Structure 1
Amino acid sequence: MKRAITLAAVLLAPNVGLANDFIDTRLTWTFGDDDVLTRTAETAPPSPLPRIGDRPGYELFFDNLDTRYSGRENVGHLVLYKKLAGFVPGLVTEAGLVGLYIPGVGISDDGSYIKVAYTGRPDRPDDGVGLTLFPFTTNRFQLGYLYDISWGGDAIFPNASGPAPGAKLQLDMGPGYYFLGLKTASISVPIETVSGSDTDVEIVRVEETQYAVLGGGGWDFTPSLRLDVGGGYFQQGRFDLVGVRGLPVYTFGGSMRLVLHQGIDVGTSVDFKLYRNDPEVPYTFGSREEYVPGRFSWSLSVEGSLLEQHLSDPEDADATLLQPAYATALQLKVKYGYMRGSVIGFFRNLEYILRNVPSFVPFEGLPSEATARPELFTALTLDYHYARARLTPGIMGGVQFPATFASTVSEGSLEASRTLVIRQEGDFDILPPGKKELPIIGARGSLRWDLSDILSSYFFVQYVHDPNATRLVADPGSGTRRIFQRADQLGLGLTVQARY
């Protein structure tokens, strides 16, 4: 009881800060079935009978390219925020303790920060210099712009003992901005030590600090033309492979984005923004789309990232190599009155998909005898908002050519080609010997009904044709063998979500 009273007093104290609000909270109820055409045991992973709850099968390959979330989560962000003017004129100090709460999982940090900003000219409040310190994680400070091809977050440090804290210094001046950043992580690395006689060499592992340096900037050359560039160098530990043991593993590279736009702001993923519980700053996470009858707006963006990764040479145990990894996206968005549409083209080579492993075999370049094919897809979305009824029907669809890794395997005295379809890190399908990948088709029709500013319902029907999904079955002759699953999947569901 005493502890509860103390906590309430802290949260309600007027000078402690705005510590009593969850923001960007999503409560989601979903009922449906991701594949009504199959029974539970006929696919891997299985598709159970219709039930309440989210499923990975609801996610299509073109969904949510600019966020880490599917949109069907139950999450909340508790932000203990404080902002005060500094003792030096023009100085502003602020801090936010940001906790991500997922029911049934727990609470974790989601970008807590301390920030000091200085503005020397009251007539230009947007100009100035700011230093942001991240005590726990820098996952909200990455390179790249579209979230699905961004890089340089915590995951770029393989086998790290925890998240990567850091700092960011940014100068805003007129139509441009410039930034420098630093990250550190702790990774266990192999060290050779001599014990006993001079010939007794022992390998021990110790925690070693790894560093990353980031930099970049952006410029609005005209009200309709924007250019952003960024680059970085990341240490990733040391090799623990015979021949190259102890040599450094690292990644370096850059990203660039060019945007032409009119009426649509050039933004960044909400997963890169700092959370502020500030009454002076409008809340924008999950805000409703605004429609203006008769207004035409559009944006055309192209972006790309090119990385080089220092890996061991699979054909020379005593050598290393630099392996390129690259990705690009081209996106057109248009909006006229109550109608919205977009078209996207998306490309990632296999090395980029596996950049955080890094590579297919960890820390080893791809062998020359293997064949790696990139991922390529295009998708179209279109919806129309009926303002009086608060209804928004929409359609979307796309075609994907998945990334693959192909090599030759021996089947007794015969040799056959074996292809793996790589969807994401740790998510792949092994095709039967001699079989090749085929295109994947996805489509969805939806109807959204907004019941209030915080509550919406969403009904959807979706179809997927994926001829590359396989599963392992028993075989009397060889023990097990790979077979193709049913290529066609038909799913439907109803989602009701409160977001505030």
Structure 2
Amino acid sequence: MKTLRTLALTGLLSLSAPAWAGDFVDTRLSFVFADDNVLAGAGETTPNSPNARFGAGNQNTQFYDNFNTRFSGFETLSNVVLYKRMPAFFEGLTTEAALTILVLEQPSGGVTLRDNSSYIRLNYTPPGWGEREGISLTGFPVSADRFRLGYAYRISWGGSGIFTTRAAAEGVPGAKLQITRDRWYAYVGGKTALALNDLILEKETLYGAMAGAGVDLLETLRLEAGGGYFQKGIIPGLANQGIRAPVNSAGVSGQAVYHVGVPVGTSVDFRLYRNDPEVYQRFFAPEIYTGGLSYSVSLEGSFLTQSLENPDVFGQTVTQDATAVALQARAKFNYLRVHLLGLYRSLSFIQFEVPGLPPYRDFPEGTKLNPEMFIAAGADYHLPSLHFTPGFIVGVQQPASFRSPEFTGGGNNPPPSLTGTRTVVVRDVNLLSILPETCGTAACEADLILSAKATFRWDLSETVAAVGEVYYTYDNNRTTFRDDVTGVAEPRFEEPHALGFNTLLQARF
């Protein structure tokens, strides 16, 4: 045994001596006790709301939560990175690679392993350039999902899902060529995916191209912009009738950031994980309070377009536009933090990756469309002697909705409850609430959603914290289907009031 240990240690030292190498493990363990609505029991709401239990998910979050991450915050997960960096045999060239694996535990106890944009990178630093400058080529062998356009995760686009879920299941590798200087950067890149061609019943290659740039006009002001073009295959419904109708999408995104005392960064889900302290600090570690005033304000917008089936003219396609705007403001003064968040998303933007609603189809002429809009504000105050941080958040949302001349969600032979014209609330991608046909003498329309949340965080050690939330939501768009006197299921409004809580004991290491 002693000999084996000696050999192993010798091997590790010989491998790491001429290189920068190491492992990075970023883990979050979450023990949760929660109830998304204490005012309702099992079977009384849609989706179902069981009584208080151990465990939680997206149903326990509010519309302003998780703006810069794809996770709910209740998961037990780990980001495991095996990383190595070495100087090349040629002057100025450095090679590096990272195998990044997302380990996500399922409620059943199973574990899902997923590539988290592993990469190989070549970086060339010309003579006279700074240490952080260079020309780099990055290849993503399995998934280039983190290579995206947009800046806040909620309205980012161009990830693996841009080719639709049918293509994303086959993997979406890609490559990125970037030049980075002290005050500016620019990049070009591309991705490919495989998708079934429903005309020839064989898989074909889909292509995507991306480009972007950013510049620090001042030490406190950064401007960034990017754009892309992506193929999405052909429309399956028309292909089954012998018609080839390609779906192509394109768009541009831009952002302006003004920051004082706060470094400009991106969502943790965009980063290429490396074994450096900065990534760890930005993920699960507690906030660091350095004193004084610091703040940042960012405004970003995106305009996208894609071709979909024209529901009013057989066999033809039509262009559908999509827009999104996000405002983020954050400030910290000593131990006080305040933040403001605003969002605008058109319904077509929410459904852009599907694409459309129903899939691959534009909205019929005469459809009344309403975008999603919300604004939320909050604050918290850290008590260093107690390691305790109480806070609150309030927000109001106008959910996205549409009202077609004829309801199209009931299939080819819909029941009476899914015919005629009615309003459909779209809370997120393919997450719908069908409202009753009339409210009194007028057509039912989507109502504002109000939400308020009280929060606390108690850091018990550098790695373990207790977190609690109590929230109230007024949502008069909640519906479920109930049988009427004739036995036909009809949408009915649920109780609009919801009171819930989340309590977590969370470990981070």
- More deviation, 126-135/157-166: 157-166
**Partners in 2 of 1:34 and 1:10 — Cα distance?**
51
Corresponding residue SS for 2:319? strand
Q: Label 1:336 to 1:480 Cα distance change in 2 as closer, same or farther (>3 A).
A: same
Identify the range of structure 1 (471-480 vs 331-340) with the bigger mean alpha-carbon deviation: 471-480
**8 A Cα contact 2:426 2:432, kept in partner:** yes
Q: Given residue 406 of structure 1, which amino acid in structure 2 is its aligned partner? A: R
Question: Aligned partners of 2:207 and 2:471: how far apart in 1?
Answer: 45
> RMSD between aligned alpha carbons?
2.5
Other structure's SS at 2:161 match: helix
How far 1:38 sits from its partner (Å)? Answer: 1.0
**Is the aligned partner of 1:254 residue 2:252?**
yes
Partner residue in 2 for 1:227: 223
What secondary structure, in the 3-state scheme, does the structure 2 residue paired with 1:155 have? helix
Shift of 1:205: 1.1
Between 219-228 and 63-72, the greater mean CA deviation after superposition: 63-72
In the alignment, is residue 130 of structure 1 matched against residue 136 of structure 2? Answer: yes
| Offset at residue 10 of structure 1 (A) | 10
SS in 1 for 2:43: helix
The residue aligned with 1:290 is 288
Contact 2:22 2:275 in 1 (8 A): no
Q: Distance in 2 between matches of 1:433 and 1:92?
A: 64
Structure 1 pair 394–279 and aligned structure 2 pair: CA distance change class (3 A): closer
CA–CA distance in 2 between the matches of 1:343 and 1:273?
Answer: 24
Q: Which whole-Å CA distance do the structure 2 matches of 1:325 and 1:210 have between them?
A: 22
Query: Contact conserved, 2:249 with 2:304, CA < 8 A, in 1?
Result: yes
Measured in 1, the distance between the counterparts of 2:220 and 2:57 equals 40
Q: Is the 8 A contact 1:264 1:298 kept in 2?
A: yes
Q: Measured at CA, do residues 283 and 487 of structure 1 come closer, stay the same or move farther in structure 2, by a change above 3 Å?
A: closer
Task: Report if aligned partners of 2:22, 2:83 keep a CA contact under 8 Å in 1.
Answer: no
Question: Are 1:10 and 1:16, in contact at CA under 8 Å, matched by a contact in 2?
Answer: no
User: Is 1:164 matched with 2:160?
Assistant: no
Structure 2 residue runs without a partner (length 5+):
408-414, 439-443
Which runs of structure 2 are paired with 1:271-420 in the superposition (5 Å)? 271-278=269-276, 284-293=282-291, 295-409=292-406, 417-420=421-424
Q: Is the 8 A contact 1:190 1:246 kept in 2?
A: no
Alignment of 1:429-448 (within 5 A): 429-434=433-438, 435-448=444-457
One-letter identity of the residue aligned with 1:220: D
- Cα distance in structure 2, aligned partners of 1:216 and 1:322: 24
**Of 474, 481, 484, the match for 2:483:** 474
Amino acid at match of 1:365: D
1:20-169 mapped onto 2 (5 Å cutoff): 21=23, 23-103=25-105, 104-121=110-127, 124-158=130-164, 159-160=166-167, 161-169=169-177
Tell me, in whole angstroms, the C-alpha distance in 2 between the residues paired with 1:259 and 1:34. Answer: 35
Secondary structure of 2:349's counterpart equals: helix
Q: For the residues of structure 1 that align with 2:325 and 2:433, how far apart are their CA atoms?
A: 24
Q: In 2, distance between residues paired with 1:157 and 1:215?
A: 17
CA distance in 1, matches of 2:257, 2:398: 26
Question: Closer, same or farther in 2 for the Cα pair 1:341/1:282, shift >3 Å?
Answer: closer
Residue 267 of structure 1: how far off its partner (Å): 0.9
In structure 2, C-alpha distance between the alignment counterparts of 1:385 and 1:146, rounded to whole Å: 26
User: How many residues of Structure 1 are paired with residues of Structure 2 in the alignment?
Assistant: 483
Which TM-score applies when normalising by structure 2? 0.90
CA contact (8 A) 1:81 1:278 kept: no
Structure 1's 415 and 454: CA in aligned 2 closer, same or farther, altered over 3 A? closer
Write out per-residue CA displacement over residues 76-128 of structure 1, whole angstroms, 9 at most, x where no aligned residue: 12211111111112211111111111122321111110011111236611111
Residue pair 2:23, 2:83 contacting (<8 A) in 1 also: no
Out of 187, 208, 212, the residue aligned to residue 216 of structure 1 is 212
Helix, strand or coil at the partner of 1:234: strand
CA offset digits 1:216-272 (Å, max 9, x no partner):
100000001110000000011012344782232110010000111111111101101
Q: Which residue of 2 aligns with 1:14?
A: 13
Question: Shift in Å at residue 214 of structure 1?
Answer: 0.2
Question: Cα 1:499–1:34, aligned 2, differ >3 Å: closer, same or farther?
Answer: same
Q: Which stretch shifts more, 249-258 or 281-290?
A: 281-290
Letter of the 1:427 counterpart? L
Contact 1:408/1:415 (8 A) holds in 2: no
In 1, distance between residues paired with 2:32 and 2:375? 28
State whether residues 398 and 442 of structure 1, in contact with CA within 8 Å, keep that contact through their aligned partners in structure 2.
Answer: yes
1:279 offset after TM fit, Å?
Answer: 7.6
CA distance in 2, matches of 1:59, 1:151: 22
**How far apart are the structure 2 equivalents of 1:10 and 1:420?**
63
Structure 1: tracts of 5 or more residues without a match: 192-203
CA distance in 2: counterparts of 1:55 and 1:279, whole angstroms:
29
Shift of residue 446, structure 1, vs aligned partner: 0.9
Are positions 1:184 and 2:192 aligned together?
A: yes
Identity of paired residues, percent?
40
TM-score normalised by length of structure 1: 0.91
Matched with 2:236 is: 240
**Residue 297 to residue 22, structure 1, CA distance change in 2 (3 Å):** closer
* Alpha-carbon distance, 1:278 to partner: 4.9
CA distance in 1, matches of 2:420, 2:315: 30
State the distance in 2 between where 1:421 and 1:452 align.
Answer: 43
CA contact (8 A) 1:12 1:20 kept: no
Contact 1:189 1:205 in 2 (8 A): yes
